[in-house]
Amino acid sequence: MRKSKIAAPAQISILTVDDDPIITSTIKDYFERSGYDVDIENDPVNAIERVRTGNYDIMLLDFLMNPICGDQVVEEIRKFNKDLFIVLLTGHKSMAPPVKTIRLLDIQGYYEKDDRFDQLELLVESCVKSIKQLRTIREYQNDMSRAYMQTIETLRYIVETRDSETRGHSERVSQLSEGIAREMNLPAETVELIRVAGLFHDIGKIGVPDAILLKNGPLTNEEFNEIKKHPLEGENILKSYTPFQNLLSIVRSHHERISGKGYPDGLAGNDIPLGARVIAVADSFDAMVSNRTYRRGLGFDTAVGELIKGKGEQFDEMVVDSFMRLVEKLGREEFIKTYCSHTSEIGET
């Protein structure tokens, strides 16, 4: 018997599948002596569910089985798991599926059964090397992702701490956007996307000079044009991080208007991403009720009136209506407590 040359294959789990219990038991005994963690399954249909619910690295899979063959098992598994390394076991090489099928199903190799498992162990060792390399790469990517997220969070923090009056704005917009999205009965993944986009919708303001961002008074046309660049800057900051790709169009478009008179692209109606239309309402409401150095925040009724007035021109009617249902559902005082507690005068009209 050949001794494994892969030292301590810790955390490598194998599922061996064959409708012959003797074969699976023999394979299990062999690879467990080499230090692997091995489970067995004699029903190919059950094997699919075990992969779905379990955590396996390698599958050693017989080709000819009942009620379904190995290639059918792989076809089903590949619908939900692209990472599992699969070695197909065949009684005779002539009975193996064609090379085209093996490539199409991303099968790592096949092994012609015999009394010795040397060649099979070589295939497994090759899989182990690839698995360890992939783990190293993914850990590096995760480290880079964590570092990038920390950088993004820092930038967002800097944006809000530059101006004490807008501190907490993004969190409030995120929270209110989430509430509106839930009231619209949007899918959970869409609600989460909108919530996260709300957190980062203004991150592009990191590039706006203090003289403009903190100006105590109306902006000139030239200054406003600088402010209008922040959706594009936000998109540029976020686009390097793969998990943020679905946020980009929302961040870019949160200042578009239903009428087509917004910026940066002049999108109109349903051409504006739904998430951006939701955030536009939450963003505007929070801005209206919050104090600024050049004006006091509007009262609750006045701000709500502005949203209603802007339906169909600045804001999506469906989103504003959902906002109003949220107010009605919570009640005025609870809504203010939940979404507007940063200002003590919100209750005034």
Can the peptide bond before residue 187 be classed as cis, meaning omega within 30 degrees of 0?
A: no
Tell me, what's the pLDDT at 278?
98
CA dist., res. 258 & res. 268, Å (int): 5
pLDDT at 126 over 60: yes
pLDDT at 134 over 90: no
List the alpha helices (DSSP H) in the chain: 21-33, 44-53, 70-77, 99-104, 118-161, 169-183, 188-200, 210-213, 221-227, 230-238, 248-253, 274-289, 300-309, 317-330, 332-339
CA dist., res. 260 & res. 90, Å (int): 63
Tell me, what's the pLDDT at 7?
46
Q: What percent of the chain stands above pLDDT 90? A: 59
Phi-psi region of 92 (alpha: psi -120 to 50; beta: other; left: phi over 0): beta
Q: How far is CA 155 from the centre of its chain?
A: 20
* Model pLDDT for residues 264-290, shown as the tens digit of each residue: 999 999 999 999 999 999 999 999 998
List CB contacts of 60: < 8 A, sequence separation 6 or more. Answer: 14, 15, 16, 17, 27, 87, 89, 111, 120, 124
pLDDT at 122 over 80: yes
Token pair belonging to 185: 């009965």
Q: What is the pTM of this model?
A: 0.62
pLDDT at 149 over 90: no
Mean pLDDT, rounded, for 104-128: 86
pLDDT at 314 over 80: yes
pLDDT at 322 over 70: yes
Mean pLDDT, rounded, for 21-47: 94
Tell me, what's the pLDDT at 256?
98
Full strand arrangement of the beta sheet holding 85-90: 37-41, 13-17, 58-62, 85-90, 109-112
Confidence tier at 244 by pLDDT (50, 70, 90): confident
Tell me, what's the pLDDT at 9?
57
**What is the CB neighbour count within 10 angstroms for residue 158?**
12
* Model pLDDT for residues 46-101, shown as the tens digit of each residue: 999 999 999 999 999 998 898 998 989 999 999 999 999 999 998 766 666 677 77
- Is there a contact between 221 and 199 (Cβ–Cβ < 8 Å)? no
- Is there a contact between 345 and 290 (Cβ–Cβ < 8 Å)? no
Mean pLDDT, rounded, for 183-198: 95
Residue 41 buriedness (CB in 10 A; 0-12 / 13-18 / 19+): buried
pLDDT at 6 over 50: no
Tell me, what's the pLDDT at 17?
96
DSSP state of 93: G
168 to 125, 137, 183, 215, 342: CA distances (angstroms)? 53, 36, 23, 19, 9
Tell me, what's the pLDDT at 294?
63
Mean pLDDT, rounded, for 141-168: 72
pLDDT at 293 over 80: no
Domains of the chain: 13-136 (3.40.50.2300), 162-339 (1.10.3210.10)
pLDDT at 296 over 80: no
Mean pLDDT, rounded, for 176-205: 95
Tell me, what's the pLDDT at 165?
53
157 to 96, 169, 316: CA distances (angstroms)? 59, 11, 29
Can the peptide bond before residue 67 be classed as cis, meaning omega within 30 degrees of 0?
A: yes
pLDDT at 344 over 60: no
- How much is the mean pLDDT over the chain? 87
- Is there a contact between 242 and 211 (Cβ–Cβ < 8 Å)? no
Tell me, what's the pLDDT at 260?
97
Tell me, what's the pLDDT at 346?
55
Q: What percent of the chain stands above pLDDT 70? A: 90
